[in-house]
Amino acid sequence: MSLEEKYRELFARGKKVLHGSAPALMNSLRQSALERFFESADFNDEKYRQISPLTALYPANDDLENIPPWRKTLRFRPIEGVRTVVVKNGQIVSDDCSFVRNYKITGLRQFIEQHRDIAKDYFANLTNKYETPLTALNTAFCNDGFVIYLPKTVQTFRPVYIYNITTVGFANYHNMIIAEKDTSVNICIRNIVNAPNNAIFNGVTEIFADSKSNVALTQLNDGYYANLYNSFLCRQAASSKTALCSVTFSGRQVINSFNMRLEGKYSETRLLGASFPSQGQQISHLSTVEHSGAGATSDQLFRNILSDNGIGVFNGRIHVGPRAAETVATQRNDNLLLSDDAKMFTKPDLVIDNDDVKCSHGATVGQPDSDALFYCRARGIAEHDARRLLAKAFITELLKKLNCKFASEHTAELIERWLDSYHY
């Protein structure tokens, strides 16, 4: 049986699960998206070959207790001053929303049913325009997800913490963040895939930032031995601000993809990324920032710490359009190799079609500085502790750029535990 036949069998067998109670808007897009997936996907690519029609749509390991202790933190319990939402296999199972009255966090299906006029303007809007094989696959097999909808002028002073758990072998969840004019929100997502080896998590998050809105999103990923594919697509109007950060601790093969569209004048975005590939894991960050509005600003910083025989990939692209005068754009990728067997592939890229811009890009790859190690050892610091100290200093700059205090502290705690667990 060919791979295409396996996907078609999976699609046919899953119709009851997928179509079932799903809104007509979701179902109407599935078949055409599946055909576009077949047209564009390269089945020689390993990420499309890890598929098992016999088990993929059914629950797998549901025992969260086997998560390593250093990764267990802030699970399920309410957090003071934070709206805590638990999502399991794409569905909201709990929401500490006792103090929230002015904005909604709902399941994707529920939102489409209750707000059809709004949903038709947003659902799959960006994925259809800027489609990739992975986003087409998501549209075809999407089961559920969550929506954060902020009506005009809503300012959320408490951060949102979403604990997102996946235990199925083939997961395609679609999330939307809709921020209307003059709104603000800080979101932190803890994304855990506790599923069998070679499981596939294919997530899409569409972000719509209207004029003068402010959206900050931090996503912390743990895939263990699963394959994680996270696609973030964002459209920004005039004077809007976004800050997206993706930190990945584990995953067999991980791709974090950012597609940012700065369409409005004086819009701003900041992209941050960090990863810790080891033991043959491959973690990639792919970014595209499209400047089409004048006076827009983008700032990218991606830092990776690679150990054992881990593999890292960074492909970043900034495109400044002919009408995007007064653009300011920076892109930086720095990588720290803790072993001789680790590999990093980096390719920062600039495409500029306007003369009135300030743009820069660069990348570095290297091992811990020998002079810095000597300085620490000369002051009585053991080599293990010195290497850990340098690794922590390397990642600290990225943490300082996180605007949300809760997200910054939570991310720092998880990174600290990872640094403590690694054998230098």
DSSP secondary structure string for all residues of 355-366: SSEEEEEEEEEE
Tokens, residue 231: 């696609």
Contact yes or no for 234/262 (Cβ under 8 A): no
pLDDT at 341: 95
Q: pTM, whole model, 2 decimals?
A: 0.93
Contact yes or no for 63/154 (Cβ under 8 A): no
Q: Where are the domains of the chain?
A: 3-264, 371-424
Q: Where are the beta strands (DSSP E) in 3-97?
A: 83-88, 91-95
Q: How is 228-276 classified by DSSP, letter by letter?
A: EEEEEEEEE-TT-EEEEEEEEEE-SEEEEEEEEEE-STT-EEEEEEEE-
- Cα–Cα distance measured from residue 233 to residue 375, given in angstroms and rounded to the nearest whole number: 44
Closest CA to 335 of 307, 365, 370: 365
Beta pairing class for 200-209 and 227-236: parallel
pLDDT in tens, the chain (424 residues): 788 888 888 888 877 778 877 999 999 999 999 999 999 999 888 888 766 544 444 444 444 444 444 444 444 566 778 899 999 999 999 887 755 667 889 999 999 999 999 999 999 999 999 999 999 999 999 989 999 999 999 999 889 999 999 988 889 999 999 999 999 999 999 999 988 778 899 999 999 999 999 999 999 999 888 899 999 999 999 999 999 999 999 999 999 999 999 999 999 999 999 999 999 999 999 999 999 999 999 999 999 999 999 999 999 999 999 999 999 999 999 999 999 999 999 999 999 999 999 999 999 999 998 898 888 888 888 888 888 899 999 999 899 999 888 999 999 999 998 888 876 6
Place of tokens 């016999």: 54
pLDDT at 205: 98
Q: How many CB atoms lie within 10 A of CB 318?
A: 25
Beta bridge partners of 303: 274, 334
Contact yes or no for 177/210 (Cβ under 8 A): no
H-helix segments, 142-226: none
Q: What are phi and psi of 218, to 5 degrees?
A: -120, 125
Closest CA to 67 of 283, 244, 224, 233: 224
Q: How is 299-353 classified by DSSP, letter by letter?
A: EEEEEEEE-TT-EEEEEEEEEE-TT-TTEEEEEEEEEEESSTT-EEEEEEEEEE-
pLDDT at 310: 95
pLDDT at 70: 40
pLDDT at 163: 93
Helices (H) and strands (E) in the chain, counts: 10, 20
Q: What angle do CA 35, 37, 39 make, to 5 degrees?
A: 70
Cα separation of the two ends of the chain: 45
- Cα–Cα distance measured from residue 147 to residue 178, given in angstroms and rounded to the nearest whole number: 8
pLDDT at 125: 95
Q: What does the CA dihedral 339, 340, 341, 344 come to, rounded to 10 degrees?
A: 80
- Cα–Cα distance measured from residue 377 to residue 371, given in angstroms and rounded to the nearest whole number: 10
- Cα–Cα distance measured from residue 316 to residue 85, given in angstroms and rounded to the nearest whole number: 32
- Cα–Cα distance measured from residue 167 to residue 319, given in angstroms and rounded to the nearest whole number: 38
- Which helix (H) or strand (E) segment holds residue 135: the answer is helix 133-141
Instruction: Please give the C-alpha separations between residue 116 and each of 24, 106, 266, in angstroms, as whole numbers.
Output: 10, 14, 31
